[in-house]
Chains A and B, each alone.
Chain A
Amino acid sequence: MIPPAFEYARPSSVDEAVRTLADGGEDAKFLAGGQSLLPLLRMRLAFPELLVDLGRVPELRGVREDDGTLVIGAMTTHHHVLHDPLVRRHAGLLAAATATVADPAVRHRGTLGGSLAHADPAGDLPAVVLAMDGELVAVGPRGRRVIPAREFFVDYLQTALAPDELLVEVRVPKTDGWGFKYEKFHRVAQAWPIVGVAALVRRDDGHIAEARVGLSNMGSTPLRAATAEEALSGASDPDAVARAAEEAADGTRPAQDTSGSPEYRAHLARVLTKRAVLAAAGMG
């Protein structure tokens, strides 16, 4: 279908982008890679009056190091992220999960910041950035602020970004030495995960010293499997991991839809957590 009519602006800097949006009224929206927004426009599910296209803002693209942190520009495409040498070396979980996002053509246009700001709980990357204890940097008319991933995802398709704020950077701590695995389950080659599990594991002397588990599509936001994480601490063999993974759905509220019931999703969360943690811990 043909999208509804809108005005269009194409700023060349973050300052100009923020100003243009602020001047554009209540129904002005940023356009990142468009791989979620354009389908919504075509289906006439969104009616922005102004789209502020971020496609020509060079400072929003690229990956750099800041001591123990990787800083990824919000408009860095999935394709760039998954091939970036810094990401591959210091944030393997992010690279691995990004390689499973949609398909090559969508990854050429879709961006990390766009998928986080869209905040679809079925998306792959929100749970990954949550598991990595990432931070999101926003710029608005009142300045710049840092939002921890744990506070960023507020509800279904809703984030802590104010309507006039722009997500400019994603900061993830380097996870050198951590094992990682992203497991997702879907019925066809190209689909949102029915459930996805992002696991990070730090081993010490043969046992799991620390495990972090992010869950996709187990509620209205991406979630951490906190009970399972606690139970995984100290696990030294696959049986202990399997027992801890039984807690993976604790505290979650997965949806009922055509892909599965809440009970089925809880089952998937347990199974995928076991698989992902075993693989991340090198016990698989």
Chain B
Amino acid sequence: MTHISLKVDGTTYEDDVEPRLLLIHYLRDRLGLTGTPIGCDTSNCGSCTVDLDGESVKSCSLLAVQADGGEITTVQGLAQDGELSELQKAFHARHALQCGYCTPGMIMAARDLLREHPHPTPDEVRHGLEGNLCRCTGYQNIVRAVLDVSEEEVKA
């Protein structure tokens, strides 16, 4: 067992874990943070994307012990005082989902994209999200939602 200390969505957790425990399993099975789903389990689909120390990562391709000492944000940490983030609102307003399984990862990847490119072109949005697969929507409304947020920021 290896001792880890992690801050997840603002709360610090101390735990002893097996080194082989994947971060996604730690988040879901130990902390009960099931808002982040497991999709392909082969690092292709991106549905398990979370933020580690300010960068998007696929939490199925990371050991919990590798994240020791880090600060993690999951999709469940985005809303503040019950108010959805702008990106979450845009996904809602644009209906940027059908089954919704890819949505947490899509939102976390889009958040990372907007941090690096606050005003992306549609092409940059598509490339920025290429590690996240959606099998329902054809991506159109997802791209529109991300562009909505960048335009909101321009107006504000």
- Bound CA span A8–B67, Å: 13
CB atoms of B20 and A105 under 8 A apart = no
Name B128's closest neighbour in chain A (CB-CB): A104
Q: Does A88 contact B (CB under 8 A)?
A: no
- Bound CA span A4–B114, Å: 37
CB atoms of A39 and B42 under 8 A apart = yes
Task: Report the minimal beta-carbon distance from B122 to chain A, rounded to whole angstroms.
Answer: 15
Specify which chain B residues have a CB less than 8 angstroms from the CB of A39 in the assembled complex: 42-43, 61
**What is the size category of the interface that chain B forms with chain A?**
20 to 34
> Assuming the A-B contacts A2-B25, A79-B55, A106-B43, are A190 and B130 also in contact, with contact meaning beta carbons closer than 8 angstroms in the complex?
yes
CB atoms of A104 and B22 under 8 A apart = no
CB atoms of B42 and A109 under 8 A apart = no
| In the complex, per-residue mask of A261-277: 1 if CB is within 8 Å of any chain B CB, else 0 | 00000000000000000
CB atoms of B131 and A103 under 8 A apart = yes
Q: Does A156 contact B (CB under 8 A)?
A: no
- Bound CA span A11–B57, Å: 23
Task: Report the minimal beta-carbon distance from B118 to chain A, rounded to whole angstroms.
Answer: 15
Task: Report the minimal beta-carbon distance from A60 to chain B, rounded to whole angstroms.
Answer: 15
Q: Does A43 contact B (CB under 8 A)?
A: yes
From A7, A38, A51, A189, B61 is in contact (CB under 8 Å) with A38
CB atoms of B58 and A106 under 8 A apart = yes
Specify which chain B residues have a CB less than 8 angstroms from the CB of A109 in the assembled complex: 57-58, 61-62
CB atoms of A38 and B63 under 8 A apart = yes
Name B131's closest neighbour in chain A (CB-CB): A103
From A6, A103, A104, A189, B20 is in contact (CB under 8 Å) with A6
CB atoms of B131 and A190 under 8 A apart = yes
Task: Report the minimal beta-carbon distance from A197 to chain B, rounded to whole angstroms.
Answer: 21
Q: Does A150 contact B (CB under 8 A)?
A: no
Q: Does A234 contact B (CB under 8 A)?
A: no
Task: Report the minimal beta-carbon distance from A266 to chain B, rounded to whole angstroms.
Answer: 28
> Assuming the A-B contacts A5-B20, A190-B130, are A104 and B56 also in contact, with contact meaning beta carbons closer than 8 angstroms in the complex?
yes
B residues sitting closer than 8 Å to A (CB atoms) are 2, 18-20, 22, 25, 41-44, 46, 49, 52, 55-58, 60-63, 65-66, 109, 112-113, 128, 130-132
10 closest residue pairs by CB, A with B: A103-B131, A8-B19, A108-B55, A189-B130, A105-B56, A3-B20, A38-B61, A105-B58, A103-B130, A105-B131
